[in-house]
């Protein structure tokens, strides 16, 4: 299947985040701020295509602020995550295709609070980075310590010699949207590699 994506000459950030409307309102506020500040910085927001939860909040805020947004959603999730039709959205056939496009269209990754799907997405991106398949920034937006348990699990792997100490350099952890936006800018100094170079 041929995928047609509108050209964009600037940098793009992929936001991994939850689709739940029942999470802490602080997470929704952060998602809205992230979308708006991404647009203000001139970056395109790449996200999972949903109109609900943190996904919808960030996309709507970026769009309202005049930013470019690219959503990518598998067809079978349309009824659950409800497309946000006001922005460019690709409907694809599988989760794998969704992640491939989101990866290839992005220069940096920001990981806001989310569920098991968000966890799966960031673990794959970190695994690729561990294998030197890319050098794109991976930034945990650790609102209210949401990712503390995952970060502790990574530290356990390092302590048990399952993961090298240098893996700590594969990601950054911040607790404010402003800090995440600032770290995104480091993508300017890093090569834009694609995982299919494996």
Considering the chain, what percentage of its residues have pLDDT values greater than 90? 81
116 Cβ contact list (under 8 Å, min separation 6): none
pTM: 0.92
Lowest pLDDT segment from 22-26, 58-62, 179-183, 190-194: 190-194
Q: Are the beta carbons of 173 and 142 closer than 8 angstroms?
A: yes
Closest CA to 174 of 185, 164, 166, 182: 182
Structure tokens at 145: 């310590």
Q: What domains can you pick out in the chain, each with its CATH number?
A: 12-188 (3.40.50.450)
The pLDDT tens digits for 14-54 are: 999 999 989 999 999 999 999 999 999 999 999 999 889 99
Average pLDDT for the chain: 91
The pLDDT tens digits for 122-148 are: 999 999 999 988 889 999 999 999 999
Q: Are the beta carbons of 109 and 9 closer than 8 angstroms?
A: no
Average pLDDT over residues 99-107: 95
d(CA 96, CA 148): 27
Provide the pLDDT confidence category of residue 101 given band limits of 50, 70 and 90: very high
Instruction: Answer yes or no: is pLDDT of 13 > 80.
Output: yes
- Chain centroid to CA 107: how far? 10
More confident residue, 32 or 196: 32
More confident residue, 3 or 33: 33
d(CA 192, CA 89): 23
Based on the number of CB atoms within 10 Å of its own CB, is 112 exposed (0-12), middle (13-18) or buried (19 or more)? buried
Q: What is the 8-class DSSP label of residue 144? A: G
More confident residue, 13 or 78: 13
d(CA 4, CA 132): 29
């Amino acid at each position: 299947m041929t995928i047609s994506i509108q050209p964009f000459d600037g940098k793009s950030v992929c936001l991994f985040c939850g689709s739940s409307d029942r999470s802490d309102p602080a997470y929704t506020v952060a998602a809205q701020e992230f979308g708006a500040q991404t647009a203000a910085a001139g970056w395109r927001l790449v996200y999972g295509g949903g109109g609900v939860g943190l996904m919808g909040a960030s996309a709507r805020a970026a769009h309202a602020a005049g930013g470019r947004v690219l959503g990518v959603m598998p067809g079978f999730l349309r009824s659950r995550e409800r497309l946000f039709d006001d922005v460019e959205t690709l409907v694809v056939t599988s989760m794998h295709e969704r992640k491939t496009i989101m990866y290839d269209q992005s220069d940096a990754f920001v990981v806001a609070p989310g569920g098991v799907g968000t966890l799966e997405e960031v673990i794959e991106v970190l695994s690729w980075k561990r294998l030197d398949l890319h050098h794109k920034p991976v930034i945990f937006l650790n609102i209210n310590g949401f990712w503390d348990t995952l970060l502790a699990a990574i530290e356990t792997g390092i302590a048990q010699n399952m993961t090298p100490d240098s893996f700590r350099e594969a990601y950054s952890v911040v607790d404010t949207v402003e800090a995440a936006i600032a770290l995104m800018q480091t993508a300017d100094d890093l090569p834009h590699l694609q995982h299919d170079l494996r």
